[in-house]
Structure 1
């Protein structure tokens, strides 16, 4: 038979649904199916980094590759640890600070809809029990930049947020298996073996680059909670973005992994950025199996 451009049935029964035949034909897919496809969870864990060293460490340690189907610079991959395969998507925020972190969170949410978002990179240690090279795994963040300026001085109005219980339980399980503090070691490219610890505790977050161990901010944080281990400039934005999330693309929880690169004093420099970033990425890799929450 020649010239046929349709459907031919030579006998029996046949059912055709949501198909189109002929020139210019179209199919209208039900809205609920389109919505389900748009909301599909394309990653189990989303990762936000800020600095070049942080992004490189995540890409190398997790084995992520540049996503080819997005205009935004996402990196993605499947990470196998302890028999668990975790789909990971990572993005580097456009700039330091809380605002870009909030946008990075939203971009991950819209494009990958991960169950958990982890902010990973470096931070400054402010507690006597933390050392350069150690890693802080935080599920509580104190945002310190809310304040009132008066003739008598500055009055901070710290705001503390904690991740949902599901993530807290996951972190507890991690430390149950690895010990608390957990003890890790990595080998540099030159063969140097570095031992470091992983501790859990709150971190302080605001817009300041702190290079004074006796600064008013650090004094305030220590008075707010003497167990605060470190400071950064982005975790407050992560917790705020999570707090204000809406819609059907719902992130279940968050965590912060900070490798300690300095002690937030006048000796602060960039010498340990790469090492601290790699330590944080290594800890995140080992944490991934515990974050397999809400997989669909």
Structure 2
């Protein structure tokens, strides 16, 4: 063969080709990470983390999930069909409140169900005057407020900002295109609005309208509309571990049960949790699924050459 016709790469002279499971170059190798049969059978499209009993009960009742523990860990799961979209959902309740327990719940979902998206669903504190109890906030960005430096002159806070993936952000945007923003759910006394927002998150319970944390968050970003104690753990867990399972992103859905001030109480928690679960149900058809993930795992190469 004439040397000028030798090729050590890939040549395509027209038309699309699909390349998958391929390695090119000296010493290249393809490593396949196969899921166990048990994980494949359980694999969920949406993993849900709840914290309180009222939050878990609202999701279970709204999505009609059934309890099915795995390896001694309590989970609830089922399949819902909305607008022609069948989605498998797995839910767990964290052992306790706060960022650390949320990270463990995320890891349990990741290991047992490999969900495409993880949603943190439940209640939160309102942070803006136009956000009312019963309203629901959908957050794709979280500001962690507990990082700080203690000095002789006082506390210097250092916020940490994490945002979900673009594919989940676009899914939430599409939800609001269809429902309007703010979206309206229900009517009369049972009606509430749904907004997109940034969530402020940390381990401190905020029950003072004049607290230093509130002042800091308002200065950090005036679009922070709700606060909670878990979103930072979810965002950090995805940042560190999500890509290992090819997860697509996370979302936080918070029903407002109080105003994070001295009037903070538990009376409205059940209705706020129910509203959050209802919004989750409506949002699920917009979120990426594991079917989407399998379809996008193949690269498309057209009219290209490599050497």
TM-score where L is the length of structure 2 = 0.81
2:272 maps to 1:271: no
Question: 1:235-250 to 2 correspondence within 5 Å?
Answer: 235-245=231-241, 248-250=244-246
2:164 maps to 1:163: yes
Give the superposition deviation at 1:210. Answer: 0.9
> Within 2, Cα distance between the matches of 1:201 and 1:246?
22
2:65 maps to 1:64: yes
Question: 1:2-17 to 2 correspondence within 5 Å?
Answer: none
Contact 1:126 1:213 in 2 (8 A): no
Aligned residue in 2 for 1:210: 206
- Aligned residue pair count: 261
Larger radius of gyration: 1
> Within 1, Cα distance between the matches of 2:160 and 2:242?
21
Per-residue displacement from partner, 1:192-216 (whole Å, max 9, x unpaired)?
9511000001010000111111111
> Within 2, Cα distance between the matches of 1:173 and 1:157?
33
Unaligned runs of 5+ in 2: 1-30, 295-307
Per-residue displacement from partner, 1:240-262 (whole Å, max 9, x unpaired)?
10010067423210000000000
Contact 1:142 1:205 in 2 (8 A): yes
2:225 maps to 1:224: no
Out of 172, 192, 197, the position equivalent to 1:196 is 192
Aligned residue in 1 for 2:305: none
2:289 maps to 1:293: yes
Secondary structure, aligned partner of 1:229 = strand
Unaligned runs of 5+ in 1: 1-30, 187-191
Contact 2:123 2:254 in 1 (8 A): yes
Aligned residue in 2 for 1:80: 81
Contact 2:116 2:248 in 1 (8 A): yes
Give the superposition deviation at 1:33. Answer: 8.6
Specify whether residues 35 and 133 from structure 1 end up closer, same or farther in structure 2 by C-alpha distance, changes over 3 A only.
closer
Contact 1:138 1:256 in 2 (8 A): yes
Contact 2:78 2:90 in 1 (8 A): yes
Secondary structure, aligned partner of 1:277 = helix
Secondary structure, aligned partner of 2:207 = coil
| Cα root mean square deviation, aligned | 1.9
> Within 1, Cα distance between the matches of 2:290 and 2:163?
19
Aligned residue in 2 for 1:282: 278
2:176 maps to 1:175: yes
Aligned residue in 2 for 1:18: none
Give the superposition deviation at 1:135. Answer: 0.3
> Within 1, Cα distance between the matches of 2:232 and 2:38?
28
Secondary structure, aligned partner of 2:186 = strand
Specify whether residues 32 and 143 from structure 1 end up closer, same or farther in structure 2 by C-alpha distance, changes over 3 A only.
closer
Aligned residue in 2 for 1:139: 140
Give the superposition deviation at 1:68. Answer: 5.0
Give the superposition deviation at 1:230. Answer: 0.7
Secondary structure, aligned partner of 2:219 = helix
Out of 241, 252, 259, the position equivalent to 2:248 is 252
Per-residue displacement from partner, 1:252-282 (whole Å, max 9, x unpaired)?
1000000000000100000000000000000
